[in-house]
Structure 1
Amino acid sequence: MEEYKKRIVKAIQFIDNNLDIELSLEKISDVAAYSPFHFHRIFRLITNETVQSYIIRKRMEKSAFCLALKKNLNLKDIYLQFGFSNHSIFNKTFKKHYGKSPLEFRKSVPENFHKIQSKHSKNGQIDTVFNQYICNIENLLNWIHMNLKIKVTDLSEMNLAAVMSLGIANVESSYNILIDWAKSKNLFPRDNVKMISVYHDSFKVTPPDKVRIHACMLLDEKLKKQEGEVFLETIEAGKFIVGSGEVTLNDFEQCWVSLFLWMKENNYSVRKAFPFEIYHTNFKEHPEGKMIVDFCIPIN
């Protein structure tokens, strides 16, 4: 099963990095070094989705994210960016996935939008539900100033050892795999070890059971090759909004919502990279379940 997962990781990374091109089963299975027939069965076993369903979902989620947060992009820019040849196909696919056309979706996104969920209504159609954690923008901004110290800063390149998790519920088991690997290399436990979660999907548009998160550990040197389920992940140097504070796990969503809102209020825009969390302490070692965390958003 480890070898299966290792190859599926490569395939998923290839898909996510090439949503703008034609992604045939043959092309993807070749990356994973399987025959198309065996790859399709293994992919579905591990991800609970067919290859085509995964590709469509990723294209729809990325499109929805752009529609919601990048109002300067027109529809053609978006559908070409994510592999659709024309407006008609994009419109039909998007409406089937989110229950409304791309333009209707964009118009219905509230200013403090932060999370989109798909659910089946009584008549079997998929509706788009905007779930607001806190309705009042002023309350959110007040909360963040009370709980997080925010700065805009340049961060150096970070080389990580990573284990992929599909679904929020599987993150802990991914960290367990990572820690076992680190112990075998005498990298854990040690002083000032930094654990990092990198979010390759957004909870705005991806259901929690499908969101891809990489459980990571900061390394002094690059990992030379993939070892079982552990592979190299690199966070490139650049400018970031960093919100730091001592919070509980239950505060995480509010931290992210507030930080993205702060970003918008201060006229920053997201860079094409992945947000991540850096953990400085372990919540399991705190009597109130608190931990010191940096919430990091890449910006231009």
Structure 2
Amino acid sequence: MTDTQKHYQARMQRVLDYIDLHLDDCLDLDTLSGVAAFSKYHFHRQFMATFSVPLNRYVQLARMKRASYKLAFREHETITQIAMGAGYGAPDAFARAFRQRVGQQPSSFRKSPDWQRWNTTFTPLHTARNRFMPTPYQPSDVQIRRVPTTPIAIMEHRGDPSTIGTTIQRFIAWRRSVGLIPPASPTFNVFHSDPHTTLPEDYRLDLCAGTDQPIVPNGETIKDGCIPAGRCAVLRVEGAADNLEPAALYLYKDWLPASGEEPGDFPLYCQRMTFFPDVAENEAVTELFLPLR
């Protein structure tokens, strides 16, 4: 990529970051073309040509994604509050728009989300961010860190990765019931399977809460375990954290062969440091850990 292309891409990335940070504000053509420092007479076409999704639709999807996360994972927020936060003056207008995009009424989605339809709805948003604006990792982004033994409570997700949202809902509810909520209790995911090489029905991922206290199941299937002490290659991922595959691919394909290191005897895992929608999506931080010998 030439310096001119990198500069152009940086201006477009600036627009995506601005949208993430200002979902509650006016995100019209004048504002966003100004952020990119492009003419408003051409910016619609430039955005469409770069991301294969119209500018207005991208903004709508970004607001709807945040609203869907709040509906599913933030029960303390009412539907009316979520509607106002998505830029709708009335819950009815929000409900119509949400159903048109996601295929469910907000109240139905809150109770029982159709995650497969959800994934289809937001594919253009994820494609724009992950495929057309990939994060360029480099060796200096990886730190080798010695981590201590960390006792954890584990809720296992087994099955289609597209339905993991339902397991996350149960995990959040369980954590609240026993007082293991962030930041008092750290959050980890342990990746036992590669979604690209595992049948959906065999996919396995552990949702984990750090705790050295006795585990109270409270009606859930919870087991205790630990993340072992040892050396790890750690890659900090800033931004959308629902797809860590590009970061994992960099560790395995680029960093590991060049490092002279060997992987250890524990799966790839991550620690969720900050969470969307508590922070803007581009401000979410996840640390990805590759255990080493």
TM-score, structure 1 normalization: 0.51
Within the candidate set 65, 72, 75, 2:69 is matched to: 65
- State whether residues 188 and 209 of structure 2, in contact with CA within 8 Å, keep that contact through their aligned partners in structure 1: no
Partner of 1:222: none
Per-residue deviation, 1:242: 4.4
After superposition, the Cα gap between the structure-2 partners of 1:245 and 1:75, relative to the gap in structure 1 and judged at 3 Å, is closer
Is 1:6 aligned to residue 13 of structure 2?
no
Partner of 2:117: 117
Is 1:294 aligned to residue 269 of structure 2?
yes
Within the candidate set 188, 192, 207, 1:243 is matched to: 188
Q: Which has the higher helix share?
A: 2
Letter in 2 for 1:97: R
**Deviations along 1:51-75, whole A, 9 cap, x unmatched?**
1000111111111111111122111
Per-residue deviation, 1:117: 2.9
Is 1:283 aligned to residue 252 of structure 2?
yes
Letter in 1 for 2:71: L
Within the candidate set 164, 189, 192, 2:144 is matched to: 192
Tell me the distance in 1 between the aligned counterparts of 2:272 and 2:65: 19
**Deviations along 1:162-204, whole A, 9 cap, x unmatched?**
xx98455568xx46x443xx6xxxx48x8739xxxxxxxxx77
Tell me the distance in 2 between the aligned counterparts of 1:266 and 1:295: 23
After superposition, the Cα gap between the structure-2 partners of 1:298 and 1:288, relative to the gap in structure 1 and judged at 3 Å, is closer
Secondary structure (helix, strand or coil) at the match of 2:76 reads coil
After superposition, the Cα gap between the structure-2 partners of 1:244 and 1:27, relative to the gap in structure 1 and judged at 3 Å, is closer
Per-residue deviation, 1:2: 2.2
- State whether residues 103 and 117 of structure 2, in contact with CA within 8 Å, keep that contact through their aligned partners in structure 1: no
- State whether residues 240 and 296 of structure 1, in contact with CA within 8 Å, keep that contact through their aligned partners in structure 2: no
Tell me the distance in 2 between the aligned counterparts of 1:21 and 1:246: 37
Letter in 1 for 2:49: L
Partner of 1:131: none
Per-residue deviation, 1:48: 0.8
* 1:1-300 → structure 2 map (5 Å cutoff): 1-109=5-113, 115-118=115-118, 166=128, 174=134, 177-179=136-138, 187=140, 192=144, 241-243=186-188, 247=192, 249-250=194-195, 254-255=204-205, 258-259=206-207, 275=241, 282-284=251-253, 293-298=268-273
Secondary structure (helix, strand or coil) at the match of 2:87 reads coil
Per-residue deviation, 1:118: 4.3
Secondary structure (helix, strand or coil) at the match of 2:144 reads coil
Tell me the distance in 2 between the aligned counterparts of 1:64 and 1:16: 15
After superposition, the Cα gap between the structure-2 partners of 1:289 and 1:48, relative to the gap in structure 1 and judged at 3 Å, is farther
After superposition, the Cα gap between the structure-2 partners of 1:239 and 1:49, relative to the gap in structure 1 and judged at 3 Å, is farther
Letter in 2 for 1:54: Y
After superposition, the Cα gap between the structure-2 partners of 1:90 and 1:191, relative to the gap in structure 1 and judged at 3 Å, is closer
How many residue pairs end up in the alignment? 198
After superposition, the Cα gap between the structure-2 partners of 1:73 and 1:244, relative to the gap in structure 1 and judged at 3 Å, is closer
- State whether residues 116 and 204 of structure 1, in contact with CA within 8 Å, keep that contact through their aligned partners in structure 2: yes
- State whether residues 283 and 289 of structure 1, in contact with CA within 8 Å, keep that contact through their aligned partners in structure 2: no
After superposition, the Cα gap between the structure-2 partners of 1:241 and 1:119, relative to the gap in structure 1 and judged at 3 Å, is closer
Tell me the distance in 1 between the aligned counterparts of 2:129 and 2:266: 22
**Deviations along 1:197-228, whole A, 9 cap, x unmatched?**
xxxxxx7799xxxxxxxxxxxxxxxxxxxxxx
Tell me the distance in 2 between the aligned counterparts of 1:33 and 1:204: 40
Per-residue deviation, 1:288: 9.6
TM-score, structure 2 normalization: 0.52
Tell me the distance in 2 between the aligned counterparts of 1:247 and 1:72: 32
Tell me the distance in 2 between the aligned counterparts of 1:204 and 1:13: 27
